Structure 1
Amino acid sequence: MNLSSAFANGFSSTAILIIAIGAQNAFVLRQGLRREHVLPVVVVCALSDAILVQAGVWGLGSAVQAHPALLVAARWLGAAFLLAYAARALLRAYKPAAMQVGSDGATAAGWQPVVLTAMAFTWLNPHVYLDTVLLLGAIASPYPPSLRMGFAAGASLASLLWFSALGWGARWLAPLFASPHAWRVLDGVVAAMMVALAVGLLLH
């Protein structure tokens, strides 16, 4: 065991977990397509992941396991939030005026609600505690304390690179969303995904 192997393990483990399409990734992708407050969204998501990685690496996972009521509360809050966001996505799908995109990134929506939504997608998602805190914490547990910082650094870098690529790389897909119909389809898919995730949280 050495620092470089711990770093590489943290990076690869996080990359495998984070790339799966979920509610948070769908939100970041949509903000990137709209070119709406991409920087604060990427910063919030990456910084939140870094905090959760540190918590998992240094033992919060065991505390979460010891208090399962925390995950139950997060499950219900997360499901309620996902259903509310699904309703908003359906509303956008029926109102083309709500889907106008400014070419310079300037939009009618302020950055505060966008940042709060990004935080909700992260901190109200029970899967983030299972994957980032418990699973990554378990993977990092064999490392001595002197190497866990390397693991956490690799994990945090993978998260930062992924959200940056998702947020700013989405503009390459912008020509596909030049028409209101394409945005209706995207918001319809997002709404269906949010409902499915909410139902999954409640059933499991």
Structure 2
Amino acid sequence: MTTYLAGFTLGISLILAIGAQNAFVLKQSIKQHHVFMVCFICALSDAILISLGVAGFGYLVKQFPLIETIARYAGAAFLTWYGISSLRSAFTQKHVMNPEGDASKSAWQTALICLAFTWLNPHVYLDTVVLLGSISTQYEPYKWQFAVGAVSASFVFFFSLGYGAKLLIPIFKHARSWQVLEFIIGFVMLALAISLLV
């Protein structure tokens, strides 16, 4: 149980920071747009990456830094595109809250964007595959309990964020609130893109 809690605590601490993926989940929740699918994709992706790290894939990433380099530049390009799109939306679109949910993007489009936020983020490899994978070795022969704890943390966090953010929906019935959110998200995405390149 102690090993499980260690994994859970470290897992939560690594994903609490405001990042591109969390901002995307927050936005989808407020829009009521494929919330369950988005939360599930994020948590399942973390589960796969954590499992790979515990299984020893972190060593492979260290041996072949090109993997991290490709993820960094692809991620920077994606975040730049998304950030510019959000800023453009903040200044040019009139946002109206649809109480039945926002269906402006199909489930497939949303899933692909969500996957890009996860798998094109080099930090996710460092946090889940390398860091959690290497720390798990300290808990031999119970490292898989550590992994289950970290995976549980991802599921708890993303579903709490995805469904807890619905409490903000009354605020976002006003177009001005959407403009502010889009501007903040755009700024965060561009700042993250720059941080990947410097």
SS at 2:169's partner residue? helix
CA distance in 2, matches of 1:133, 1:101: 38
Structure 2: gaps spanning 5 or more residues: none
- What is the aligned counterpart of 2:173 among 163, 178, 184? 178
Contact kept in structure 1, 2:97 and 2:174, CA below 8 Å: no
Moved over 6 A (4+): none
**Aligned counterparts, 1:99-178, within 5 A:** 99-145=95-141, 147-178=142-173
Contact kept in structure 2, 1:96 and 1:180, CA below 8 Å: no
Deviations along 1:124-177, whole A, 9 cap, x unmatched? 0000001111110111012224x1221111111110010001111111011221
Corresponding position: 1:88 with 2:77: no
Q: Higher mean Cα deviation, 147-156 or 70-79?
A: 147-156
CA distance in 2, matches of 1:202, 1:112: 29
TM-score (norm 2): 0.96
User: What's the Cα RMSD here?
Assistant: 1.1
CA distance in 2, matches of 1:112, 1:91: 23
CA distance in 1, matches of 2:130, 2:104: 39
Contact kept in structure 2, 1:101 and 1:107, CA below 8 Å: no
Contact kept in structure 2, 1:11 and 1:158, CA below 8 Å: yes
Provide closer, same or farther for how the CA distance between residues 79 and 19 of structure 1 changes in structure 2, counting only shifts above 3 A: same
Counterpart of 1:194?
189
CA distance in 2, matches of 1:155, 1:87: 33
Overall identity of the aligned pairs, in %: 44
SS at 2:104's partner residue? coil
